[in-house]
A = this chain, B = another copy of it.
Amino acid sequence: MQVKILGSAAGGAFPQWNCSCPNCHAVRGGQFQGKARSQSQVAVSNDGESWFLLGASPDLRSQIEGSPELHPRLGTRSSPISGVVLASADLDHVLGLLLLRELQPFRVHAAESVINILRNDNSMFRMLNRVPDQVDWRTIQAGQSFTLDSPTGDGGAIGCRAIAVSSCYPAYASQVQGAQEAVLGLILTASSGASLGFFPQVAEVTSELKSIFATLDCLLLDGTFWSDDELIRLQGSGQHAVEMGHVPVGGEGGTLQQLAGLSTPRKMYIHINNTNPMLNEASAEYRAVRDAGWELAEDGCHFTL
């Protein structure tokens, strides 16, 4: 399975348009030991021909242009992107669907509640169904498996299993009931048997999740915040990381500590917020992550499992 990380930051990206925190200020000034990042976006392929997107970030247009694998190859209008799997209805995870609106057919796999939020409560998504052969919406359920296959059936399918990880719908959809599937983690298994876990939002590291993580060849995990009060200390007000559905990376109860014994061969933090001190490669936090055997996902990182 080929894995391409097109973006690795949390919503707003790094730097963020209205932020001059130490990280954003330094990276704009060219004084930062670390990299700018676009909003989290992963693409996977079993055969290198047909690609599937995990989420659809607001930066998707430039992320596609920066990836020759994802450029059209056949005829005047086409795309090697066969489908999108949505893990939540968060804006930084779904807005990119509206950038794929030029009458191109592809599939979107998502929880029923997420599909309802997009299609019933947001008329803009009608642009994805202007003609009969455009977007094919497919419902997925937590705990169940489905397959990602190319339109021709060539190239072998990727198996996908969705795991419920948070009951927290985005603020714009706060009235949603039945919160089992608000945020999903995704486990992708190639025809070779290689497996990837995509968990950009984790509210709690349960024993079930620990067991799942231990079976993976590669884990992409929530690296949003280093500490629970990161935004509050910076801004003087705001929400705690845990209130926003994100276990912090550092400190007591952080994922570095909770997953210290995890034997997964490749472990990467993704969905990293602009305020997170581990973005600074000269920092103690970055050193702690690397010393613990974790990587920070970077835009453009491409590997085969």
Contact = CB atoms under 8 A, between A and B. Distances in A.
A102 B64 contact: no
Interface string A36-65: 000000000000000000000011111011
Given A101-B91, A123-B121, A130 B171 contact: yes
Interface string A59-85: 111101100001111011111000000
Residue among A59, A70, A123, A234 with the most chain B CB within 10 A?
A123
Contact of A123 (B61, B71, B117): B117
A3 interface: no
Copies of this chain present in the complex amount to 2
Interface string A16-34: 1111110010001000000
Contacts of A235: 76-77
B13 A102 contact: no
Interface residues of A, number: 50
Interface in A83-140: 91, 95, 98-102, 104, 117, 121-127, 130
Given A58-B61, A102-B12, A75 B20 contact: yes
Interface string A160-171: 000000000011
A65 to B, nearest CB: 7
Nearest to A174: B126
B127 A91 contact: yes
A19 B72 contact: yes
A102 B18 contact: yes
A15 interface: yes
B124 A77 contact: no
Contact of A58 (B15, B58, B64): B58
Nearest to A125: B172
A173 interface: yes
Contact of A76 (B19, B59, B98, B126): B19
20 contacts: A12-B102, A17-B61, A17-B64, A17-B65, A17-B99, A19-B102, A20-B71, A20-B72, A20-B76, A58-B58, A76-B234, A77-B235, A91-B98, A91-B101, A95-B95, A95-B98, A95-B124, A121-B123, A126-B171, A127-B172
Interface of A: 12-13, 15-21, 24, 28, 58-62, 64-65, 70-73, 75-79, 91, 95, 98-102, 104, 117, 121-127, 130, 170-173, 234-235
